[in-house]
Chain A
Amino acid sequence: MRKLALIFLALSLSACSITPWVKPYERQNLADKVMESERDEVQGSYIAHVYAAREGQRGAEGGSGGGCGCN
């Protein structure tokens, strides 16, 4: 999965000379409130904290993290 993502990143970064294929007036769907990754920031960081405190994995969550003695 990581190799696939790195190829995707490299292709995206190399396409700077291409005209944007989604014009500004075509982006209303992307700006719709249902498309927000997290409508409520406080609950997004909270549920990420709930998972991180009870799982061995950490990092690459949707929001930012911090420390606590929650183990």
Chain B
Amino acid sequence: MLKSVRIILALALTITAAHAGVLPEDRADIMYHRYEGGGVTIDGPSLLIRKSMLDDLSVSFNHYVDNVTSASIDVQVYASGASVYSEQRKENAVGLTYLHNNTTINFGYTNSEESDYSAETASFAISQDFFGALSNLSLSFAQGDDVVRMNNREGGVITSTDDIGTVDRNNYRIAFSQVATKNLVFNATLETITDQGFLNNPYRKIRYLDSDGITQKDAPEQYPETRTSDAFALRANYFWPWWRAALKFEARTFTDTWGIKGKTFEIKYTHPFDDAWIFEGKVRQYDQTAADFYRDLFPYENFQNFMARDKEMSSYSTFGFGAAATYEWKNIDFSFIERMTLSLYADFVRYQYDDFHDARESRNGGAFAAGNEPLYEYDAVVTRLIFSVYY
């Protein structure tokens, strides 16, 4: 971890408690989520239940499902046989929160399973209010162990599965929140993530020019076996007293040992109406530079030790905007229910790639030479419908 962060960490740990924190609200959420874009449709449910007990404990359980139907550009370019595949991912997560005066301790465990990937993550976090509850410092650590497999398909049906490798992940996060005024809160978050193991997608390939300089051929991607990244985010929430509305701002930077640099800017406006409605709008911009070993088309086979053609490793930008509406029922006849809400969120995101070309246009009699195809871009719509009960 950075030397400067270690110094601040040592200072933070010497500060004593002064004020009580609060447990998360008891609630049950059922969400339908849907992502549609780039030839991929992913939808499914997510169920969250949270309950407090003994005045200082809160437990939570989340069951989440992704139903995937994919005819992405990678599937269309590289998959033999069927041009569309279907997959399902299931994720279960449990959490335990313990509150003691102004200190909150969280334990979490998440398991994700799909036919060709298993992931387990265990996390621990400690959060401390101090300085009259105007400040909060939290430290968290998560360790993940993943198993990577590869399905062999014939006609879209899985005929066998091969073990490919494993991934070990460690996340280290420190976050600090500060109340600045009656209407303004700042937050700074720094997170370092380290990965080791098989870090690429076993299905994806790179392409290179054959000895004739015209014919394109495919070969498996070759990624480094380690990756370390640092992400830093600054957030500010401002309460607009004249309208009883809130303006939220986020700026995030990212850098890693693969040479990728990313920047995110997001502005969100939240406005209540008639004491039962909340409306929200947001705008988000993301820009990224390519990994050092990324190329859309390599000049020849075995050009370098590490080679990638994953569009998520390329230079590109995204622009998105979203809106949300929440309605709240307050006077509920059932004795144990305090209130209920129904929320709809919708986001539109445009992805525009600067150095990832549409290889479909140069294959199977396409009109373009390899490397001269149009740059790839696509739009995605992300929708969430959530019904929540607070008890």
A residues with a Cβ closer than 8 A to B are 1-2, 5-6, 8-10, 12-16, 19-22, 24, 26-27, 29-30, 32-35, 37, 39-43, 46-47, 50-51, 54-62, 64-71
**B262 interface contact, C-beta 8 A:** yes
User: Given the complex, which residues of B lie within 8 Å of A55, measured CB to CB?
Assistant: 262, 286, 288, 312, 318
- Residues of B near A40 (CB, < 8 A) are 29, 31, 343, 345, 384, 386, 388
Q: Is the Cβ of A42 less than 8 Å from the Cβ of B386?
A: yes
Residues of chain B lying within 8 A (CB to CB) of residue A35: 185, 237, 239, 246
- Which B residues, 165 to 195, have Cβ-Cβ distances below 8 Å to chain A? 167, 169, 171, 173, 176, 178-179, 181-183, 185-193
Cβ–Cβ < 8 Å partners of A43 in chain B: 31, 33, 343, 345, 384, 386
In the docked arrangement, what's the CA distance between A10 and B189, Å?
A: 14
Q: Does B233 contact A (CB under 8 A)?
A: yes
Residues of A within 8 A of B183 (CB): 29-30
B297 within 8 A of A: no
Given known contacts A8-B188, A33-B278, A58 and B254 CB-to-CB distance under 8 angstroms:
yes
The distance in angstroms between the C-alpha atoms of A39 and B324, with both chains bound, is 11
Q: Are B171 and A59 in contact (CB under 8 A)?
A: yes
Q: How many chain B residues touch A (Cβ–Cβ < 8 Å)?
A: 106
Chain B residues with Cβ under 8 A from A2's Cβ?
190, 232, 253
Q: Which B residues touch A6, using CB under 8 A?
A: 4-5, 8
Does chain A have a CB within 8 A of B132? yes
- Binary contact track B323-363/A, C-beta < 8 Å → 1, others 0: 00010000000000000000101010001000000000000
* A69, B176: Cβ atoms closer than 8 Å: no
B153: Cβ under 8 A from any A Cβ: no
Using a CB–CB cutoff of 8 Å, the interface residues on chain B facing chain A are 4-5, 8, 11-12, 15, 24, 29, 31, 33, 35, 46, 48, 62, 64, 66, 89, 91, 93, 108, 110, 112, 114, 116-117, 119-121, 123, 125, 130-135, 140, 142, 144, 146, 148, 167, 169, 171, 173, 176, 178-179, 181-183, 185-193, 200-201, 229-235, 237, 239, 241, 244-246, 248, 251-254, 256, 258, 260, 262, 264, 270-272, 278, 286, 288, 291, 310, 312-313, 318, 326, 343, 345, 347, 351, 380, 382, 384, 386, 388
Q: Give which listed residue, B35, B191, B244, contacts A50 with CB less than 8 A.
A: B35
**Are A64's CB and B123's CB within 8 A?**
yes
Provided the pairs A9-B176, A33-B278, A42-B62 are in contact, do residues A58 and B193 lie with their beta carbons within 8 angstroms?
Answer: yes
Chain A neighbourhood of B245, CB < 8 A:
34
Bound-state CA distance A10–B7 (Å) is 9
User: B256 to chain A: which residues have CB within 8 Å?
Assistant: 56
- Across-interface contacts of A41 in B (CB, < 8 A): 24, 29, 48
Chain B residue nearest in CB terms to A56: B260
Q: Which residues of A contact B179 (CB under 8 A)?
A: 22, 27, 30
B352 vs chain A, min Cβ distance (A): 13
Q: How far is the CA of A49 from the CA of B295 in the complex (A)?
A: 26
The answer to whether B112 and A68 touch across the interface, beta carbons within 8 angstroms, is yes
Do A58 and B182 form a contact, CB below 8 Å, given A22-B134, A67-B146? Answer: no
CB neighbours (8 Å) of A54 from chain B are: 312, 351, 380
Docked-complex contact B239 and A56, CB < 8 angstroms: no
Contacts of A37 in B (CB 8 A): 187, 235, 237, 248
